[in-house]
């Protein structure tokens, strides 16, 4: 009995424990199911989010690569760009890259500098920068334009109408002594200029050509050898030298000029056939209306050169556009001396400074 009576509470306790155990089990199972369900709802979102992030990054990478590819496109006309770029900038980019490797440059210094020139598009529709101090170049040579079926001749152009713009032009260089000194002065004064360079000198001094270009000055074509006898024996001889010099400049810079200056000037040298030929090949020629006479037999000193500029800029026509002829070869040391004073004089007369482009008004 005692045993039976004792057993009764034991069996009740056991039963209670079993019930409690079952309840806990059920609760665990239910909790597990709820947890699983909750996880199942959350996890796919996380995966989706991860997938979205990856896609965004890969899309960004693809865009980046596309951009890099586009910017790395060579400035050769073999694969003309599908868009109409205003800034091919291959030479400048190369120079900037060489000077400031992106990996070692703080982000704020790594911003691309504004490119101080314009490159003609395929159809010459963008030749009119707002600022007359913006040089204009072409990525295609005239021969390549003809081969690709692109326009070679420039469209009808309205010249700039800005008043009192002085165009300092330096012919016959570049050399390794006076041209760099002239560039130093121009940089110090913040004045742009135009350098009509000779092909064989460009071949000899490509670094000076690059410096002229990168410092925002215009480069013009002044033929290959500057030899009057050859140049003025026939339009074709003149043309060959211009085309050859363009090839040399494009080889150095990735672009070539659209402006030409005839050695000695066109007066008495050019026949109608020369003008027709230059037009057909898309070149614009500018002579000058102010001259320091630094290449004449007189060999004027710096003070006399300044006087010439002063007197000649008093002529009414030259008050609109003063195209000033100077030279930058190694014997023109008086020109280097006169230059800061010439700039000061022109400023005091109210001139601003531009570079020669196809839109520059003719000097007479």
* Pick 262 or 339: Cβ nearer Zn ion: 262
Q: By C-beta, is 15 or 228 nearer to Zn ion?
A: 228
Phi-psi region of 223 (alpha: psi -120 to 50; beta: other; left: phi over 0): left
Nearest-angstrom CA–CA distance, 86 and 311: 40
Active site (annotated) includes residue 244: no
Residues that bind Zn ion (CB under 5 A): 171-172, 263
Residue 246 is among the residues annotated as catalytic for this protein? no
**Least distance from Zn ion to the Cβ atom of residue 233, Å:** 17
Length of the chain: 364
Of 172, 217, 327, 331, the active-site residue reads: 327
Tell me which residue has its CB nearest to Zn ion. 171
Smallest gap from Cβ 193 to Zn ion, in A, equals: 15
Choose the catalytic residue: 138, 171, 175, 246: 171
Rounded Cα gap, residues 317 and 319, in angstroms:
5
Quick one: CA dihedral 227, 230, 232, 236, positive or negative? negative
How far is C-alpha 21 from the chain's CA centre?
A: 82
Structure tokens at 93: 């980019």
Phi/psi of residue 327, nearest 5 degrees: -130, 150
Q: How far is CA 279 from CA 161, 206, 257, 311, in A?
A: 22, 28, 14, 33
Question: C-beta of 222: minimal distance to Zn ion in Å?
Answer: 6
- For Zn ion, which is the closer residue by CB, 147 or 204? 204
User: Cβ closer to Zn ion: 132 or 263?
Assistant: 263
> Whose CA is closest to 219, among 141, 309, 135, 303?
135
CB of 287 closer than 8 Å to CB of 364: yes
Q: Which residues pair with 327 in a beta bridge?
A: 171
Give me the least distance between CB of 185 and Zn ion, in Å please.
Answer: 20
- Cα dihedral across residues 44, 47, 52, 58: positive or negative: negative
Q: How far apart are CA 306 and CA 346, in angstroms?
A: 10
Q: Which of 281, 283, 201 is nearest to 249 (CA)?
A: 201
The two three-digit tokens of residue 8, written as one number: 């009764």
Beta-bridge partner residues of 169: 194, 325
Comparison of 171 and 285: residue with beta carbon closer to Zn ion: 171
CB of 160 to Zn ion, least distance (A): 25
Q: Whole-number minimum distance, CB 173 to Zn ion, in Å?
A: 9
Cβ-based nearer residue to Zn ion, 144 or 172:
172
Nearer to Zn ion, 138 or 172 (CB): 172
CB of 172 to Zn ion, least distance (A): 4
- Which residue numbers are catalytic? 171, 327
């Amino acid at each position: 009995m005692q045993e039976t009576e004792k057993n009764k509470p034991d069996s009740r306790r056991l039963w209670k424990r079993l019930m409690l155990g079952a309840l806990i089990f059920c609760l665990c199972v239910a909790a597990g199911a709820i947890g699983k369900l909750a996880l199942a709802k959350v996890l796919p979102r996380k995966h989706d989010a991860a997938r979205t992030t990856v896609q965004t990054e890969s899309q960004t990478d693809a865009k980046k690569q596309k951009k890099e590819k586009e910017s790395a496109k060579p400035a050769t006309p073999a694969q003309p760009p599908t868009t109409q770029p205003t800034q091919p900038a291959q030479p400048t980019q190369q120079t900037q890259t060489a000077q400031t490797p992106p990996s070692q440059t703080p982000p704020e210094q790594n911003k691309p500098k504004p490119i101080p020139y314009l490159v003609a598009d395929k159809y010459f529709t963008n030749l009119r920068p707002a600022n007359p101090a913006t040089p204009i170049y072409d990525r295609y040579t005239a021969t390549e334009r003809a081969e690709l079926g692109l326009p070679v001749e420039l469209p009808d152009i309205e010249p700039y109408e800005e008043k009192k713009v002085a165009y300092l032009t330096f012919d016959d260089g570049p050399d390794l002594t006076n041209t760099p000194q002239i560039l130093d002065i121009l940089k110090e004064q913040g004045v742009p200029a135009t350098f009509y360079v000779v092909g064989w000198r460009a071949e000899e001094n490509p670094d000076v050509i690059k410096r002229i270009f990168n410092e925002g000055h215009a480069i013009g074509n002044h033929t290959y050898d500057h030899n009057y006898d050859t140049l003025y024996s026939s339009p074709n001889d003149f043309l060959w030298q211009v085309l050859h010099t363009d090839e040399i400049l494009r080889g150095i810079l990735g672009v070539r000029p659209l402006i030409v200056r005839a050695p000695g000037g066109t007066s008495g040298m050019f026949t109608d056939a020369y003008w027709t030929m230059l037009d057909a090949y898309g070149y614009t020629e500018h002579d000058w209306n102010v001259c320091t006479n630094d290449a004449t037999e007189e060999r004027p000193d710096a003070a006399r050169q300044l006087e010439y500029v002063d007197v000649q800029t008093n002529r009414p026509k030259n008050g609109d556009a003063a195209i000033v002829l100077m030279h930058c070869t190694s014997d023109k040391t008086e020109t280097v001396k006169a230059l800061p004073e010439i700039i000061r004089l022109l400023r005091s007369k109210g001139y601003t400074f531009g570079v020669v482009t196809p839109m520059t008004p003719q000097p007479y």
